Chain A
Amino acid sequence: MNGYEFSFSGQRLSALASGALFWPDQRLLCVSDLHLGKSERTARRGGPALPPYENRDTLNRLADDLDHTKAHTVICLGDSFDDLGAAESLTEAERLQVSTLQAGRRWIWIEGNHDPGPVELGGTHLAAWTCDALTFRHIALPQARSEISGHYHPKATLRTSGRSITRPAFLVDRSRVILPAYGTYTGGLRSSDQVLKGVMGPGAMAILTGRHPCCIPMPR
């Protein structure tokens, strides 16, 4: 499994090619911003009927990551569902797939801004969760330390040999890790955006996802 290992708050973490974060010592896999039910929500609001395959695709990729990492604990870092209605719209097959993934694992849903309420799926629902040295929450807090969050869908651009390659990216500084969005139907916010420049401290790094994740100083 391709991953980029780095040390954060005294822990060894691995940024996986898929955009998931793996914590080997805890056998813990963390994914953020799945946005399940995106296509359903778009259609419900009178928009176009997008290809209704994103739930399947997102869950398939998650299943692959779980196969490879054999994680015992899964943390979904918020905005797991596009909205509450979208959560209710999962098909039988998709619910079954979620249940299969949950079987034999501890599963924690962190609340996001898109999916505040509880949903009728297994697992624990929490606003934030601390495990050992690290705290998991949806949106980064300015003063937090040892924090893992999502929400911003960061992406970063690397220019080299006349081309520019943009990929979803992990952002890492001394106090926080921000995960890229894991869901199939998600876009990204450039690391050079004012908001992200404000959140990330000096010396921040960006780890670009892709077949071989690679680490660069965060483009500002």
Chain B
Amino acid sequence: MPQIPAQIRNWFAAKGWSVHPHQQELFDRAGDAATLLIAPTGGGKTMAGFLPTLAELADGSHVGLHTLYVSPLKALAADIKRNLRAPADEIGLAIRIEDRTGDTPATQKKRQRADPPHILLTTPESLALLTSYEDAPRMFAGLQRVVVDEIHALAESKRGDQLMLALARLQNLRPSLRRVGLSATVEDPAAIAGFLARHPDPCEIVLADPGPDPDISMLETEEMPPWSGGGAAYAIPAVLEQVRRHRTTLIFHNTRAQAEIFFHNLWLANDDGLPIGIHHGSLDRQQRERVEAAMVRGELRAIVCTGSLDLGIDWGDVDLVIQIGAPKNVKRLVQRIGRANHRYNAPSKALLVPANRFEVVECVAALEAVRAHDLDGEPRGPGPRDVLCQHILIAAAAGPFDAGALFNEMTSAGPFAALTRAEFDACLEFCATGGYALRAYDRWQRLQRRPDGTWQLRDPRAAQRIRMNIGTIQDTDTLKVRLRRNRGGKPLGEIEEGFAASLTPGDTFLIGGQIVRYEGLREMVVEVTRRADKKPKIATFMGTKFATSTQLSDRILDMLAQPDWPQLPRHTAGWLALQRDVSRLPERGRLLIESFRHDGREHVCVYGFAGRNAQQTLGLLLTKRMEELDLAPLGFVATDYATLIWGLDAVTDPRPLFRIEALRQGLETWLAGNAVMKRTFRASATIAGLIERNTAGQRKTGRQATFSSDILYDTLLRYDPDHLLMQITREEAMRGLVDFGRIEAMIERVGGRIDLVRLDRVSPLAAPLFLEVGKVPVQGAAEERLLAAESERLLREAGLVQAEAG
């Protein structure tokens, strides 16, 4: 077995460090085809990953690229470059370490391709781009190892699927390539190992000492949390007090909009003027980098942030993590907590702040899950075919390919191991001709078959278009926001195009913690001025709303089944007891439905505990069923645990509403015309290359040149409903935003045990739903009526007489 070279051992000794057992184990396994390390933050993970590389480069004989490091964040690549440079220099290794991301200057990129460094640090997208060049075999000629950092995060997204296809390509170029994955604590290490390794290679899992349990509790506040909402403004004084008592605090939020509002309120209450920053994905890069730099220098006492700080950049001295709002998912909570006390073997300290009364229950359930080491997660299912289509195009951009060989390569990627040849051929057909039932592009095929049977791009210029559209991250159309100045003011960040369209000059909104006034749109840039005197209209950032996980929902139901609740604050326990007195509490094997009259309307509240997305879908399906049954539903609102529907008539027998066949049938027809489907379609069509996000200079030529992807969806639905992209869209929606699987599971669990309770007023558990935002009016005739009424009002206001409608 090889030994760690003396100069590296001496360096460890000089630092007064010893090699951690998991670092040694990874070193001993350096010859394995694939190894997965699971270690807590601060466990010397990076060194574990790079130790074999440093050892192999120690004698200075290696020529060309040796190790490729891939992480989900550009910033992480830059961070690792710094953290690796120091030891390499101190050990005395003459090696080149460079990063390559979207921010790397073009000249440097070009040089890297001609003369690659020993260690290249990059992201999945940049790597995919590298594999699309004809000279890829030359660039990767010396490659020995690949280190995938934060693989637990990548494995949850299409970015990871993309990465694994790119690695399959590299492995084809370099059959002896060895893979190492670095992961935070996860619920199913074997799934990550299968994701990482070349199929069907084995992959050893190395578990580092998880360290001591975190010190985690719920924040005690003088004031009670409100009934509803997500702002947690009530907790501001208590949070400020905690910030005062700690060196550096990270304050996590579930959405960007909530982070903005909280930051704003925090500043208003920050009488001591503590240095506090904000960091999230919609802020301008410069702004984010400034906050990051201040953080590293230890100048900030707190950062209000979102998932953009979830991943392992070393922020130094964080000694407290505060999570605002229920964590929704135990695994993510544990990973966030790990951000505090970045030293090995020191317990991390964290506080949970429920934003409303129900979240108190959820936070307590999450605390119990963390203490029990009970992590959650849903299996992800097979690799999505839209990513596969993109990689077929990337392969074509790199040069002619043989279909059989490409199939073998792609099915060696873990996520695509189960892909059938027929499925692959359908994707290839899509890339070549569009794959339509109507054959229309015989002359203009994107990919053509050559006489020798291989495939190539018909028009070589298409390679450029393909490269410009690589990636799976969906930035919903956003517009840059700038301060209005003579010559282009300071960039502040980005807002959704839909939100921008809803602004009229004079409107104010929050971005980067400041209130700005919308002045106008110039060349697709939102121009604003600073404004401090008004209450802002709030920016609707797209930030995903996570659904509470199945496991966490189950824990909550278990808690509700207790006879009393000593672990809950008095106010919350009293609230649950009152619910049990006037109605009943939801139970795991039953479905509770309350029906009552309120404000002149009939209401039903369905406690499905299926998570926000599924409860939303349930609302859409139930209102549709109610419309069929003439119950005149008017609208609904959904949370993670219940759906509240209002309408004109009372529901007296809920059973017919919950017939699974009818619901599934409703799903089929409803899905077809639904906005969720259109959004999902747009994402998949973009990834698969049907819609180009970036085309050279086209965005300037005026907006009427482009048309909405909804039109493509409607057209396919009408003329080619079984098209590959429609199949992909359905699959994606079912496991994503529609989440029908959880409705099915819930109905199966419940069987016929549906309890309809008729009340003479709103129940304690239903009351918060009335304050929820995001109410969905029932579509259809309603919209036309709204339009007609508003049109008449406007015409009257303008002093115009309405001409008769024909």
**Which residues of A are interface residues toward B (Cβ below 8 A)?**
1-7, 14, 39-40, 43-44, 46-54, 56-57, 91, 152-153, 157-161, 163-166, 181, 184-190, 193, 205, 208, 210-217
Partner of B434, one of A51, A184, A187, A213: A51
- B-side binding surface: helix, strand, loop or mixed? loop
Given contacts A5-B805, A212-B805, contact A54 B787 (CB under 8 A): no
Which B-chain residue is minimally distant from A215 (CB atoms)? B791
Q: Which residues of A contact B706 (CB under 8 A)?
A: 187
Q: Is the CB of A185 within 8 A of B784?
A: no
Query: What is the bound-complex CA distance between A158 and B791, given in angstroms?
Result: 9
Q: Is the CB of A157 within 8 A of B703?
A: no
Cβ-based interface call for B720 (8 A):
yes
Q: How far is the CB of B695 from chain A (nearest CB, A)?
A: 8
Given contacts A49-B444, A186-B704, A215-B802, contact A210 B784 (CB under 8 A): yes
Query: Can you name 24 A-B residue pairings with CB atoms under 8 Å?
Result: A1-B806, A4-B803, A5-B805, A6-B803, A43-B444, A46-B446, A48-B692, A49-B444, A51-B723, A52-B436, A52-B440, A53-B715, A53-B718, A53-B719, A53-B720, A158-B787, A163-B786, A166-B501, A184-B715, A187-B708, A189-B702, A189-B704, A214-B788, A216-B790
Query: What is the bound-complex CA distance between A53 and B804, given in angstroms?
Result: 36
Query: What is the bound-complex CA distance between A9 and B444, given in angstroms?
Result: 47
Which A-chain residue is minimally distant from B725 (CB atoms)? A51
**Which residues of B are interface residues toward A (Cβ below 8 A)?**
433-434, 436, 438, 440-441, 443-446, 458-459, 461-462, 465, 501-502, 689-692, 695, 702-708, 711-712, 715-716, 718-720, 723, 777, 783-784, 786-791, 794-795, 798, 800, 802-806
Q: How far is the CB of A160 from chain B (nearest CB, A)?
A: 4
Q: Which of A51, A54, A193 has the most CB of B within 10 A?
A: A51
Given contacts A52-B434, A187-B708, contact A46 B465 (CB under 8 A): yes
Query: What is the bound-complex CA distance between A47 and B783, given in angstroms?
Result: 37
Query: What is the bound-complex CA distance between A102 and B707, given in angstroms?
Result: 28
Query: What is the bound-complex CA distance between A51 and B436, given in angstroms?
Result: 7
Q: Is the CB of A188 within 8 A of B704?
A: yes
Q: Is the CB of A212 within 8 A of B708?
A: no
Q: Is the CB of B715 within 8 A of A57?
A: yes
Given contacts A5-B805, A153-B704, A217-B794, contact A159 B502 (CB under 8 A): yes
Q: How far is the CB of A77 from chain B (nearest CB, A)?
A: 15
Partner of A49, one of B446, B702, B795: B446
Partner of B690, one of A40, A50, A53, A210: A50
Q: Is the CB of B806 within 8 A of A14?
A: yes
Q: Which residues of A contact B798 (CB under 8 A)?
A: 217
Partner of B719, one of A44, A57, A208, A213: A57
Partner of A3, one of B433, B691, B784, B806: B806
Query: What is the bound-complex CA distance between A111 and B803, given in angstroms?
Result: 33
Query: What is the bound-complex CA distance between A187 and B791, given in angstroms?
Result: 23
Q: Is the CB of A5 within 8 A of B718?
A: no
Query: What is the bound-complex CA distance between A165 and B788, given in angstroms?
Result: 12
Given contacts A184-B711, A215-B803, contact A208 B787 (CB under 8 A): yes
Query: What is the bound-complex CA distance between A3 and B804, given in angstroms?
Result: 10
Q: Which residues of B contact A53 (CB under 8 A)?
A: 436, 438, 715-716, 718-720
Query: What is the bound-complex CA distance between A98 and B575, given in angstroms?
Result: 69
Given contacts A6-B803, A217-B798, contact A54 B446 (CB under 8 A): no
Q: Is the CB of A56 within 8 A of B440?
A: no
Q: Is the CB of B459 within 8 A of A46?
A: yes
Which B-chain residue is minimally distant from A183 (CB atoms)? B707
Q: Which residues of A contact B501 (CB under 8 A)?
A: 157, 164, 166, 190
Q: Is the CB of A49 within 8 A of B791?
A: no
Partner of A216, one of B708, B791, B804: B791
Query: What is the bound-complex CA distance between A4 and B446, given in angstroms?
Result: 44
Query: What is the bound-complex CA distance between A47 and B689, given in angstroms?
Result: 9
Q: Which residues of A contact B786 (CB under 8 A)?
A: 160-161, 163
Q: How far is the CB of A41 from chain B (nearest CB, A)?
A: 9
Q: Is the CB of B788 within 8 A of A57?
A: no
Query: What is the bound-complex CA distance between A217 and B802, given in angstroms?
Result: 11
Q: How far is the CB of A73 from chain B (nearest CB, A)?
A: 19
Q: Which residues of B contact A212 (CB under 8 A)?
A: 784, 787-788, 805
Partner of A51, one of B458, B712, B800: B712
Given contacts A159-B502, A164-B502, A214-B787, contact A48 B708 (CB under 8 A): no
Query: What is the bound-complex CA distance between A159 and B459, given in angstroms?
Result: 45
Query: What is the bound-complex CA distance between A213 and B804, given in angstroms?
Result: 12
Which B-chain residue is minimally distant from A205 (CB atoms)? B800
Query: What is the bound-complex CA distance between A187 and B707, given in angstroms?
Result: 4
Q: Is the CB of B795 within 8 A of A47?
A: no
Q: How far is the CB of B501 from chain A (nearest CB, A)?
A: 7
Q: How far is the CB of B612 from chain A (nearest CB, A)?
A: 20
Q: How far is the CB of A89 from chain B (nearest CB, A)?
A: 9
